[in-house]
Structure 1
């Protein structure tokens, strides 16, 4: 996949001062685990977990994902029952999920150059803590982590802009949202970032269509391909 800058009638890129990361499928390879666990739950009830449904879940809080799965696959269980089984099956796997290509290097590079960075994830705090505990030293480099699944200030999940606006407001210097660059993998997340007035680099799942990427500022195959200098930031070496 080649980079696809989207200019919206203006120059494609503007300088930024702060960077906000999504977590699942962007920093950590959790989506592979989610797919395996949900497929197993679906199969035990004779249902199929399709890529169409999976794309709908990307960037969604756990409770919304559970509702979508039960509804779309017509599973004979409640949303709470699904969520309980999902969490039990995935707990050990999520505690050891690996970094996505280029993620750790990019985080350390930005921190080294004193660029304020944060995480805005739809996960609950308990879920985020489970997934990041193994890499505490790396995640301690972030100014803060906003967990939309349990944070009372995040009233609406992605694609609402709430989580990114809350995240920006928690930087000490209170940057203008236009000075924040978001890194996302999910269409819902990109929509949320754009609605918040932020530029957004998208590193999409392989099953996401081109049409679902068109609202991103730039589309890349991997975080290793990020050209920070396009946004006025120190280039990766």
Structure 2
């Protein structure tokens, strides 16, 4: 399929920047232009701490949010290509033409259903090479980090469940072990639906907010809402 060349990417960014500023100016002058706000977010953020931001957009008339769901390790590419105005990313270095602000870190803990852990116990640990595993999609390598720390490789059975809510439910159902976010894990630990995998440590994922350097009231207001939500829900990056 047709694709923008590397030389053409700056022109695409310029065109989309001009379209945003023109729509905001027309709306300010009383026009009926709709300001489109394309933003890249990772699925876990969208399903948890980012929800209050949607409420903030809902109270802003004339703004159409265009969300692109992308893993935080890859979303900075969308900024480089000019496909989004802002992104939640794992990249701390600013993309050319963008400003970057640290958001915080999300903690993921290796967890599984109690009966699944009991079925694969090996002494004080588990049989990592046989314990079934759940991943979000082909870009999800969080589980692989845990395996590497245990000097293990992926087991024969690896399930893919590309939905944050359904991924959580798959782990709870015993389909396999997976990396579960703290907001989802804590109630399940208390209820006995999940247990931490013995001998495995949590993984903290740092998140950053990158946005185009534009004098855009809509983008500035959206950025403020994102930073407020992150400050309330995420662990500090210290």
TM-score (norm 1): 0.29
* Structure number with higher helix proportion: 1
Structure with a larger share of its residues in strand: 2
After TM superposition, the score normalised by the length of structure 2 is 0.29
